């Protein structure tokens, strides 16, 4: 009997935690009563991904020594150098699965700061052992993984947080207050955009052979590939450059969407979208013929995501995403000489209502409110929006998570978290739904240019509850992924 690839990939992901953890739930270290860690305790922390952003995440979570960093894992010992120097007593591992197995009883909570393709597998492995997790954005590489992590957090009663630190920015509180006061009325259109990519993207698949750097072995590269499809080493796949390839990354939308879409998603209390449509830029070679590369994220894209009315916004919402140098035009209510979004209009958010407009930079920073063609309000200087961690790095997004870990699941501190998986999971699903449209459109254009009979640009109808495109089945291949054996 022919196997169902989609079902096989999903079963493989669900088994990922079992492969790393022995498939049973282990109560965390120093447990009291109903699964709470004693508030006076110092958390024992481990990092999965200790270089780059991973260093900042584990450093902030350690809270200047208020918590112990007992273990670090990274396939690249050189990239993890700052973390190893900052935490010399922490045990170092190349394989996070080995770390979780050997250090299980010594770890309370884990930060996950790997490339996107490992987020879901690593987080599920840690959660199945009862570890609280902080996972960098986007929460996962695909929609199915996001749904599974959201459900796992509830099942295992764990404290979770996604690394979209703008969720803890006081500007979001200010914009929510303006909207709730009815100052811009019912919102019908949202524009969100970024100047990304700022890494190689929209390029042909590399075909030349390259030797591994001296500090990386074949075994290291195999660990780096993790659950993804195996490809030989190439500099265009490594470090920050992995973001531009679907095998590892989620493109400009995946990188910045959880930061920028977060604000309107939160302010308008949006739920699952119902429709998505996208278009992308092409690659042009010397013959000036356009080329579309299904393996790589495009050089630019425009995506429209449609939402139904929410409980607080009595209007359907059309959300338009732009990247790769594209940005929205000035709404009529914003003067022509004013920036939209942030400085130079490079990144930003615009929420257009029937009475006014709110615009802000990434993270909800420096919001401004316009009515009748002029600015009438902006966030007061020194306004902290109730954020007691404003003086801490990244607005205390990691510190508030560690305090909630100590207080326990469903504690007051836990319920105050701004991006626990109950919120971050649906947000991530929305962001990655945009990539369904981008990838489907790219694939369609690539096949059409090859002379094959294949649908072109198409609006996708989305069943959020069942995670399924209902009018174009081929797009559903991007809801999940195939996992490499052993992952």
pLDDT band with cut points at 50, 70 and 90 for residue 191: very high
d(CA 487, CA 481): 12
Q: For the residues 411-422, what does the mean pLDDT come to?
A: 97
Per-residue pLDDT reduced to its tens digit, 90-100: 999 999 999 99
| Residue 465: strand pairing partners | none
CB 206 within 8 A of CB 242: no
> Is the Cβ–Cβ distance between 278 and 151 less than 8 Å?
no
In a domain, 246, yes or no: no
The H-assigned helical ranges of 261-411 are 262-267, 397-407
Q: Range of 22's domain?
A: 5-166+391-419
Q: Is residue 374 packed enough to be buried (19+ CB in 10 Å), middle (13-18) or exposed (0-12)?
A: exposed
For residue 284, name the pLDDT band (cuts at 50, 70, 90).
confident
The predicted pLDDT at position 3 comes to 44
Within a domain: 21: yes
Query: What's the pLDDT tens digit per position in 336-380?
Result: 999 999 999 999 999 999 999 999 999 999 999 999 999 999 988
469 within domain boundaries: no
- Give residue 350's pLDDT: 98
| Rounded CA separation 362/193 (Å) | 9
Domain assignment present for residue 275? The answer is no
CB 193 within 8 A of CB 327: yes
Name the band, by pLDDT with cuts 50, 70 and 90, for residue 448. low
pLDDT tens figures, 167-190:
999 999 999 999 999 999 999 999
DSSP characters over 128-145: TTT-EEEEPSSS-SSHHH
Bridging pattern class, strands 68-73 and 368-371: unpaired
Domain CATH number, residue 87: 3.40.50.720
Residue 93 counted as domain residue: yes
Question: Does 42 reside within a domain?
Answer: yes
Return d(Cα 241, Cα 115) in angstroms, integer. 10
The rounded mean pLDDT for the chain is 90
Q: How confident is the model at residue 391 (pLDDT cuts 50, 70, 90)?
A: low
pLDDT tens-digit profile of 298-347?
999 999 999 999 999 999 999 999 999 999 999 999 999 999 999 999 99
Residue 342 lies in a domain: no
- Cα 111 from Cα 87, distance rounded (Å): 15
pLDDT attached to residue 317 = 98
- Give alpha helix (H) positions in 310-380: none
Domain count, the chain: 1
Q: How many CA atoms lie within 13 A of 142 on its CB side?
A: 26
CA dihedral over 78, 134, 382, 313, signed as positive or negative: positive
Per-residue pLDDT for 142 more than 60? yes
Please report the sign of the dihedral spanned by the C-alpha atoms of residue 226, residue 227, residue 232, residue 233. Answer: negative
- Buried b or exposed e, range 282-314, using 16+ CB within 10 angstroms: beeeeeeeeebbeebbbbbbbbbbbbeebeebe
Kindly state whether residue 14 falls inside one of the protein's structural domains: yes
Residue pair 248/117 in contact (Cβ under 8 Å)? The answer is: yes
């Amino acid at each position: 009997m022919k196997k169902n690839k989609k079902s096989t990939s999903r079963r493989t992901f669900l088994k990922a935690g079992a492969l790393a953890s022995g498939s049973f739930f282990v109560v965390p270290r120093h447990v009291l009563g109903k699964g709470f860690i004693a508030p006076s305790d110092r958390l024992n922390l481990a990092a999965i991904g200790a270089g780059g952003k991973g260093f900042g995440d584990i450093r902030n979570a350690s809270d200047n020594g208020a918590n112990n960093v007992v273990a670090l894992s990274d396939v690249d010992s050189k990239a993890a150098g700052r973390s190893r120097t900052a935490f010399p007593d922490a045990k170092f591992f190349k394989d996070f699965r080995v770390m979780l197995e050997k250090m299980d009883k010594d770890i309370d909570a884990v930060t996950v700061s790997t490339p996107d393709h490992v987020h879901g597998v690593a987080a599920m492995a840690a959660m199945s052992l009862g570890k609280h997790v902080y996972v960098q954005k986007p929460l996962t590489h695909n929609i199915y993984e996001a749904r599974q992590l959201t459900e796992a957090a509830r099942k295992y009663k764990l404290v979770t947080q996604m690394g979209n630190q703008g969720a803890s920015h006081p500007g979001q509180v200010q914009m929510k207050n303006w909207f709730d006061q009815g100052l811009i009325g019912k919102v019908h259109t949202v524009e969100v955009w970024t100047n990304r990519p700022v890494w190689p993207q929209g390029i042909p698949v590399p075909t030349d052979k390259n030797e591994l750097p001296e500090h990386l072995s074949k075994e290291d590269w195999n660990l780096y590939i993790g659950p993804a499809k195996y490809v030989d080493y190439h500099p265009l796949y490594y470090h920050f450059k992995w973001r531009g390839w679907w095998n590892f990354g989620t493109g400009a939308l995946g990188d910045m969407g959880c930061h920028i879409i977060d604000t309107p998603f939160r302010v308008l209390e949006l739920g699952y979208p119902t429709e998505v449509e996208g278009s992308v830029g092409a690659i042009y070679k010397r013959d000036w013929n356009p080329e579309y590369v299904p393996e790589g994220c495009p050089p630019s894209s425009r995506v429209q995501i449609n939402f139904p009315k929410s409980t607080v916004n009595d209007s359907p919402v059309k959300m338009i995403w732009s990247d790769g140098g594209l940005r929205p035009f000035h709404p009529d209510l914003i003067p022509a000489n004013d920036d939209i979004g942030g400085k130079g209009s490079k990144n930003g958010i615009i929420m257009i209502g029937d009475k006014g407009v709110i615009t802000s930079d990434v993270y909800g920073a420096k919001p401004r409110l316009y009515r009748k063609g002029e600015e009438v309000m902006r966030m007061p200087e020194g306004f902290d929006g109730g954020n007691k961690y404003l003086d801490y790095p990244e607005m205390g997004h990691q510190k508030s998570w560690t305090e909630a870990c100590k207080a326990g699941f469903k504690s007051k501190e836990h319920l105050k978290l701004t991006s626990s998986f109950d919120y971050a999971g649906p947000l991530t699903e929305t962001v990655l739904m945009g990539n369904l449209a981008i990838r489907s459109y790219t694939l369609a254009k690539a096949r059409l240019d090859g002379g094959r009979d294949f649908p072109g640009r198409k609006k996708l109808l989305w069943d959020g509850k069942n995670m399924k495109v209902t009018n174009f089945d081929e797009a559903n291949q991007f809801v999940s992924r195939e996992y490499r054996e052993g992952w």
